[in-house]
Amino acid sequence: MTIPFFQIDAFSSGPFTGNPAAVCLLEGPIGADLMQSIAEENNLSETAFVAEIPGSGGAYALRWFTPSTEVELCGHATLAAAEALRLAGKARAGDTVAFSTMGGPLSARLEPDGAVTIDLPAAISKEPMGADRLRAIEIALHGGVQSAFEHRYAMAVFGSEEEVVAAAPAERDLREIGIPLILTAPGDAEDVDFVSRFFAPTLGVPEDPVTGSAHCQLVPYWAAQLGRPGLVGRQLSKRTGELRCALAGERVHLTGNAHLYLKGAIEQG
């Protein structure tokens, strides 16, 4: 069995920036165990598996795996999946690709300028954070947090970009929180509204370079804080990445560029 393979830098400003994702375009069914083994072998934060749904008129099933587990939602590998379909000649500029996923229906629009816009569910933190979780965050970050919220991920808000950059939480302390952690603050640059970092050692990803799913929480929060739906976010990992963001009711739209790093085939069987 031969599986077409692409490695694509998502939310990137050029080669070696953004978040690398592997995309496997499946021409037949494979088991979840094999998907997990391929993701472990790739050793990227996410490997996406894309398969056209028979009789759907061009919709695709999409699954995502870290090196250690399958996840419900992934933004950057969704963007990469749409770009891989374009590169494979299965979609073109102006098309909107529909995906069926564990996290619900998603879509990606291939913009005429080469960018990709993905449509994800907004995650608005409504429940107060429990005292134990808050204490674990304060220990991991040595205090200094202005406020903290929780939805799919924990989110700690700082007063400055400098504090986000300087944070150096130990992996053992991050694991005590129990769920992945977003750090965020207002951006210093005039053209950046907010900055962030994302840690997910419980999912096999110590620090993710650029995280679309985290922006499902970040965009509603900062849209409310700044009083407007259109925002620009920058994730401050070593690779960095920029996202043009918009809150659209109960959905979040994230636009970014994708750059192909390599393509080939995985041989199995």
CATH code where residue 227 lies: 3.10.310.10
Asked if residue 120 is part of any domain, the answer here is: no
What is the span of the domain harbouring residue 29?
A: 2-115+255-267
The pLDDT assigned to 269 comes to: 63
Judgement on whether residues 57 and 167 belong to the same structural domain of the protein: no
pLDDT at 1: 86
Structure tokens at 232: 């620009």
> Please, which residues have CB within 8 angstroms of residue 101's CB and are 6 or more apart in sequence?
61, 62, 63, 64, 72, 73, 78
Catalytic residue list: 46
User: Strands 181-186 and 154-157: what pairing?
Assistant: parallel
The total number of structural domains in the chain stands at 2
Rounded Cα gap, residues 71 and 65, in angstroms: 6
Tell me what pLDDT residue 186 has.
Answer: 98
Structural domain contains residue 125: no
Residues 51, 104: Cα–Cα separation, whole Å? 16
191 located within any domain: yes
**Using CA atoms, how far apart are residues 147 and 82, in angstroms rounded to an integer?**
36
pTM: 0.95
CA triple 112-118-121, angle to 5 deg: 155
What burial class does residue 229 get, using C-beta atoms within 10 Å of its C-beta: 0-12 exposed, 13-18 middle, 19+ buried? middle
pLDDT in 10s for each residue of the chain, 269 residues: 899 999 999 999 999 999 999 999 999 899 999 999 999 999 999 999 999 999 998 999 999 999 999 999 999 999 999 999 999 999 999 999 999 999 999 999 999 999 999 999 999 876 778 889 999 999 999 988 999 999 999 999 999 999 999 999 999 999 999 999 999 999 999 999 999 999 999 999 999 999 999 999 999 999 999 999 999 999 999 999 999 999 999 999 999 999 999 999 999 76
